[in-house]
Structure 1
């Protein structure tokens, strides 16, 4: 393992491949169900008694799930690879995440196709600009870190909104533009069926062992 890989791996609790599969199979469907709940909560026009009953049921389920929880800041890895189950962009166990499924083509290029519903709305029928920025920040990071295999973090990102991004099916691509010392510069976009709606470019910097404390926490 390289020194950079060692610095990255120190940030995660190790799971075996079978245990990672078990955790994902158990909790990802729960997150899917909560995503459906979020969507219908936004859309519902149910009567008062139905809403009251739903609130009571949700409170009961929340309390039962809260009985056993993991500490804040604990993430997982399998071997040298992170397993970002709670990530806000790709975490299959995070109901806030779409979640993105990112495909890598080699050479620092990646892409994803995804659907954004009402939970991500800004202006009526359009994606919130902050959500677009989140997705592009993640995609540039995926490209620059070569699939989250290298410890690199966003230094700067510039987002250019060309037009409103409609809710629905979208595509994002990102790639490494160039390297300068410890910095990796990446570019990317989000597009709908009619073309590109948002562009971004950013600089990712390489983390070193000195950037982490004794328990693997980033300290710069």
Structure 2
């Protein structure tokens, strides 16, 4: 069973935490990009490393004993450690999902140097990660969570780094199985197609 941590936080407190940790995550996200692309001399790297180590030590003065998990406050989920949408996860692009009038989901986002596979293009595993999440969100709702059973992808061409779009929707539902399809696209059209089967877990039936 997937366990959720319920926290009795007010809307104001959740927004305060967003204001504290969102900018920190963005700073670390910028640090990751800078680390990949910097060409400074070794002495500058040494100074930066010492500063980063000192900042890391300060953040470790008080921390969770394990992963962040998914927290629920005032009925809303806070999956802030998620590698696709997590507010507190600097490896998340992040992807911000929107639900369309027809029930599907879509998102526009940017992938930079941290997500490179083939030179100048998105790593295929990153495309799969994002599409798995987008299809899963399309297949699920607050009342009916569904987890990935199977997912398959068809890579039509390489996906360039930069501004991208993803969308997904439900094809049909049969008992505990929900079938969803979606795709990843750049300005020139679809680059990856995906389809998957998402299962209502036993604890949610």
Distance 1:125 1:89 in 2: 20
Evaluate the alpha carbon distance shift between residue 153 and residue 202 of structure 1 in structure 2; reply closer, same or farther with a 3 A threshold.
Answer: same
Evaluate the alpha carbon distance shift between residue 23 and residue 149 of structure 1 in structure 2; reply closer, same or farther with a 3 A threshold.
Answer: farther
Distance 1:153 1:140 in 2: 10
**Residue of structure 2 equivalent to 1:3:** none
**Residue of structure 2 equivalent to 1:64:** 58
Contact 1:81 1:149 in 2 (8 A): no
**Residue of structure 2 equivalent to 1:144:** 139
Q: Equivalences for 1:26-45 in 2 at 5 Å?
A: 26-45=20-39
- Give the one of 166, 175, 191 matched to 2:160: 166
* Count of residues paired in the alignment: 203
Evaluate the alpha carbon distance shift between residue 13 and residue 72 of structure 1 in structure 2; reply closer, same or farther with a 3 A threshold.
Answer: farther
How does the TM-score come out when normalised to structure 2? Answer: 0.93
**Residue of structure 2 equivalent to 1:205:** 199
**Residue of structure 2 equivalent to 1:177:** 171
Query: Where in structure 1 do 4 or more consecutive aligned residues deviate above 3 Å?
Result: none
Distance 1:156 1:35 in 2: 31
Contact 1:89 1:98 in 2 (8 A): yes
**Residue of structure 1 equivalent to 2:122:** 127
- Give the one of 177, 181, 192 matched to 1:187: 181
Contact 1:42 1:118 in 2 (8 A): yes
Distance 1:72 1:154 in 2: 24
**Residue of structure 2 equivalent to 1:217:** none
SS at match of 2:100: strand
Gaps of 5+ in 1: 1-6, 212-220
Distance 1:184 1:61 in 2: 45
Structure 1 residue 79: deviation in Å?
2.8
Distance 1:170 1:149 in 2: 29
Structure 1 residue 149: deviation in Å?
4.9
SS at match of 1:122: coil
**Residue of structure 2 equivalent to 1:90:** 85
- Give the one of 4, 7, 11 matched to 1:11: 4
**Residue of structure 1 equivalent to 2:49:** 55
Distance 1:110 1:169 in 2: 17
**Residue of structure 1 equivalent to 2:76:** 81
Q: Which has the higher contact order (CA 8 A, sep 6+)?
A: 1
Distance 2:10 2:139 in 1: 26
SS at match of 2:148: strand
SS at match of 1:19: helix
